[in-house]
Structure 1
Amino acid sequence: IWKPARTAMLSNYYFYMMLLEAGLPPGVINFLPASGSAISRLVVPHPDLGGLNFTGSDATFSNLWKTIGDNVSTYRQYPRMVGETGGKDFIFVHPSADIPPLISAMIRGAFEYQGQKCAAASRAYVPQSLWPQVKELLLMKTAEIKVGDPCDFTNLMAAVIDRSAFDSIKSYIDYANESEEAEVLIGHYDDSKGFFVYPTIIETTNPRFKTMREEIFGPVLTIYVYEDEEIDSAIRHCKEDTIYALTGSIFAKSREAIVSLEEEFNYTAGNFYINDKPTGSTVGLQPFGGSMMSGTNDKTGTTMNLYRWTSARTIKENFVPTDDVNYISMQER
């Protein structure tokens, strides 16, 4: 059963029709638009449930996991569960970083698709020694971003998906505007015609500021500027301040720093990038997932995901049978 998201039913339906036209036998996949509550009530507790492949919020996935656990004694088999939930994806900048590629990665990583993808860069840690140059170039390039109709391919961004998303993202920007711990350096919103949130950059003095910790799912990048000599503290905040571990990237020219940071961030990102934006995994070639509350780290990709939905079966046929009960090792010497 394929249950599409409420906000993406039409595109999902057309893709489903493409599968049928390509030769997928009818009934192998059943396209079933429905409310999440109906699926949870009717499908998830069904004794024949074989598995759940979920994309959505960590709260919803946790609830589905609990429902399956509560019904485990009624199933004909143990259902398999794969989930990709949320992310608070980071860019960590070392003092040796090259600035122009960093700016490109920040803008593309944070603002492509209006920041409405799980891997979007949402927080960054920048050393004080680089911040003046980074700030100047980042704000200049961000101001040049074109926002408008997605049919115009010169636009990097379009509107966010619906009113609910607009209101949620807007609340985070308002929170930052009203806080003494943060400053909105650039960005605004406008719902007079469409739900537009323009690329927004927030600078905060608190590494645990709300927009540094919570998933926003919109074009909002929050930056914490750390003192160069306090890099260990910044690393610790990056690793420990959120419940997510989906994607992340580091920027450094020093090979020693790259090796050290890669080791430090071992458990902070299922997809980890070096000197690149924390987005852009190649579907069909790279697995995609994360640990902690970002999911089960086996959602999509190559055969790694397919194996989650198959059951290995071993068959033995003996062409040289024996009629002896005793083994050779049991013979008396």
Structure 2
Amino acid sequence: MVVEYKHEPFTDFSVEENKNALLEALKQVESNLGKEYPLIIGGEKVTTEDKIVSVNPANKDEVIGYVSKANKELAEKAMKVADENFEWWRKSDPKFRADILFRAASIVRRRKFEFTAHLIKEGGKPWKEADADVAEGIDFLEYYGRQMLELKDGVKVNSRPIEHNKFNYIPLGVGLVISPWNFLFAIMTGTTVAAMVTGNTVLLKPASTTPVIAYKLMEVLKEAGLPDGVINYIPGPGSEVGDYLVDHPRTRFVSFTGSREVGTRIFERAGKVQEGQKWLKRTIIEMGGKDTIVVDNEADLELAAQSIVQSAFGFSGQKCSACSRAVIHEDVYDQVKDRVAELTNELTVGNPADASNNFMGPVIDQGAYDKIMSYIEIGKKEGKLVAGGNGDDSKGWFVNPTVFADVDPEARIMQEEIFGPVVGLTKAKDFDQAIEIANNTEYGLTGAVITNNRTNLEKAREDFHVGNLYFNRGCTAAIVGYHPFGGFNMSGTDSKAGGPDYLIHHMQGKTTSEMF
């Protein structure tokens, strides 16, 4: 019997002791800025001339680290190492693999303030968001370790008097894990260890904007007892290293979290059978969302406004689950709109390292800043600007939380993923029309409904077509083991990270039948 895991608690920074511990950790992280980090292939540290420069998005002059950059030759070397190691790793005891995750969770838990400080610096995350990211990473380590112990003996199937039948899961092979920058610790950790604990070997290619934290995970896993060559750390450009490994005939599966544009490209490339390839590659793909909060006329309007603002602007809207559209019943539209604008104007924006009370920090880089600002200009033509609408990229990449009202549901800012602190409000004549508008997107990741009408909640349960639907709360902040996470349509393969069947995507079922 595997003991149920309760998720890692969040840190209360109003407690002076916790606040001081994080300030101390920030000093510690600052003392290590500008270091060089090698690739790790088969346990060997490989330094290259060419470097990825990771900078603090809140202060672009501050270099977090210089990370060696992989190329095709080194990607091939890593593939050979992973392929060779798979032959023995696939036979390793699942309990041994799970124990590495439990020990890693314990190490990160002890160093939680240090990891939180690192996410503030490399990811530009406000204190609470950084703390939650680290907690989620710990949750993934604990949860997937326990899930592997549940799955290790397979699933019971029927036998007959003349035979004994078994159904077991076996690993797939070498997996390419391409992790994102927004949950730079949590998603990177979860996707990497899910592939490893199931008996696969891994090529980890973290986002080029946040590669240092992935190196820190490699250090933790090494300390936790992970053998060399099981996970290989190979940051590098997607156009060179990513494409090469997605196409590689020895790649057995690709686990990707990121944009729709890159995700669909990976899906297409992985579908092509290469010369010498003897399997159909599996893809585990989580892309994006155009997530909607629906507000009914029988709703707690303060809850509705708070939910919209928190979900739209947490971590500067840089979550695939962020609320970027709110569809509000016409009877209460003006009240909710005015309160959303009021709450938005109260939000503080600034360098997250400076204070624990800045609600928003920067967006990740210049490309993100330019894209978001261009969408704000589009929004000014498509709706009425009621809050924000400006930014400042002189020192870091800061965009003020922005609200557009009276936007047509077909408008670009209501259809295209902006991935920044921008939300559009539109009105619906009744609940049915509100759900219709909510579904009017090519995505299907998260959504929320704020109403006290039970009939409408049940209608939404049936008709609101998203992978994660929340009632009377915001549409972000899924918790591992509580809210299995993944979406429909162009939001990805609905592989439900942090859920009971996530690990199975990294394995294949094998039936053995013995006649008596």
Q: TM-score over 0.5 for the alignment?
A: yes
Find out whether 1:173 has 2:370 as its counterpart: no
**Contact between 1:53 and 1:299, CA under 8 Å: does it hold in 2?**
no
Pairing partner for 2:437 from 237, 243, 265: 237
Distance 1:165 1:176 in 2: 16
Distance 1:219 1:41, change over 3 A: closer
Match of 2:445 in 1: 246
CA deviation profile, 1:153-202 (whole Å, cap 9, x unmatched): 2111101000000000000111122x1x4111111211122110111101
Find out whether 1:183 has 2:384 as its counterpart: yes
Q: Which moved more, 1:244-253 or 1:304-313?
A: 304-313
Match of 1:281 in 2: 478
Distance 1:238 1:283 in 2: 25
Find out whether 1:308 has 2:512 as its counterpart: no
Output the aligned Cα RMSD. 1.6
CA deviation profile, 1:251-300 (whole Å, cap 9, x unmatched): 100111111222221xx210110011011111244321111000000051
Match of 1:68 in 2: 270
Q: Which ranges of structure 2 fall in alignment gaps of 5 or more residues?
A: 1-202
Find out whether 1:157 has 2:360 as its counterpart: yes
Distance 1:217 1:35 in 2: 21
AA partner of residue 400 (structure 2): Y
**Contact between 2:407 and 2:414, CA under 8 Å: does it hold in 1?**
no
Distance 1:141 1:83, change over 3 A: same
SS at match of 2:239: helix
Distance 2:263 2:273 in 1: 15
- List, as ranges, runs of 4+ consecutive aligned residues in structure 1 with deviation greater than 6 Å: none
Pairing partner for 1:294 from 491, 494, 499: 491
Match of 1:328 in 2: none
SS at match of 1:7: coil
**Contact between 1:83 and 1:299, CA under 8 Å: does it hold in 2?**
no
SS at match of 1:297: coil
Distance 1:78 1:203, change over 3 A: same
Pairing partner for 1:20 from 218, 222, 225: 222
Q: Which moved more, 1:204-213 or 1:116-125?
A: 204-213
CA deviation profile, 1:8-55 (whole Å, cap 9, x unmatched): 111222122222222222211111101111234421222211100011
Distance 1:59 1:14, change over 3 A: same
Distance 1:89 1:25 in 2: 41
Choose 1 or 2 for highest CA Rg: 1
**Contact between 1:122 and 1:221, CA under 8 Å: does it hold in 2?**
yes
Distance 1:315 1:27 in 2: 30
AA partner of residue 295 (structure 1): G
SS at match of 1:304: coil
AA partner of residue 200 (structure 1): T
AA partner of residue 235 (structure 1): I
Distance 1:192 1:153, change over 3 A: same
AA partner of residue 234 (structure 1): A
CA deviation profile, 1:210-243 (whole Å, cap 9, x unmatched): 1111000001110002334xx4333222212x11
Distance 1:295 1:34, change over 3 A: same
- State the shift of 1:131 in Å: 1.9
Match of 2:164 in 1: none
Q: Which moved more, 1:83-92 or 1:43-52?
A: 43-52
Q: Which ranges of structure 1 fall in alignment gaps of 5 or more residues?
A: 322-333
Match of 2:117 in 1: none
AA partner of residue 471 (structure 2): I
Distance 2:275 2:484 in 1: 32
**Contact between 1:95 and 1:129, CA under 8 Å: does it hold in 2?**
yes
**Contact between 1:163 and 1:195, CA under 8 Å: does it hold in 2?**
yes
Aligned length: 312
Distance 2:453 2:348 in 1: 34
- State the shift of 1:72 in Å: 5.1
SS at match of 1:90: strand
**Contact between 2:386 and 2:405, CA under 8 Å: does it hold in 1?**
yes
Distance 1:131 1:59 in 2: 34
